[in-house]
Amino acid sequence: MAAHNVKTLIYSSTCATYGEPDTMPIVETTPQIPINPYGKAKKMSEDIILDFSKKSNMAVMILRYFNVIGSDPEGRLGEAPRPELREHGRISGACFDAASGIIPGLKVRGTDYPTADGTCVRDYIDVTDLVDAHVKALGKAEPSKVGIYNVGTGKGRSVKEFVEACKKATGATIKVDYLDRRAGDYAEVYSNPAKIRDELNWTAQHTDLRESLATAWKWQKAHP
């Protein structure tokens, strides 16, 4: 990128770089101890960027996304993973596949986590808010500086809550199978979005799970 005279870099990182922190919510200074390959790979990329930035005037923003859901409210874009990736994709995709009969039901892995209902808790961020965060980050990116921000709502929702919201959004009866835990999953992760609010004037606006899922479901139905 430097060789091609790129002046500004917005890097898509992830909350998975934090692993399973001792305290919640997660702030940008929370130690990064990733526990799965995805988080480790993103952490390596962050380290490379930070090392490079010590001797570069590139303007850099690192955005650590939490769990992205939803789709373009105007219906132009949505999410359709390749078939071989669906099995390992997002919970929203699995919910929609179950609702539309592509798969016989939904598999929820782990019901014995130390959370309110025993299922994993995540911070679900609507893709429209994520787009807005990028625009704000681009506007505030400064040469020779690195900004690091969590992009989340600041509120954790359990997998069971998510499934119930998906049932309401789709109007479908979704069969749910509860299975053993999946290796590399952490019990609870949600952000403290104070830094991005104070420095970039960004706050998540689309925080109703059912509405975000209904928007995505509308796209799924229009693009079978």
DSSP string, 126-160: EHHHHHHHHHHHHHH--TT-EEEEEES-S--EEHH
- Residue whose C-alpha is closest to residue 183's, from 24, 73, 38: 38
Backbone angles phi, psi at 133, to 5 degrees: -60, -40
Catalytic positions are 38
CB 64 within 8 A of CB 15: yes
Length of the chain: 224
Q: Cis link prior to 25 (omega < 30° from 0)?
A: yes
Q: HSE (CB half, 13 Å, CA atoms) of 73?
A: 8
Which residues lie closer than 8 Å to 154 by C-beta, 6 or more apart? 25, 123, 190, 191, 192, 193, 204
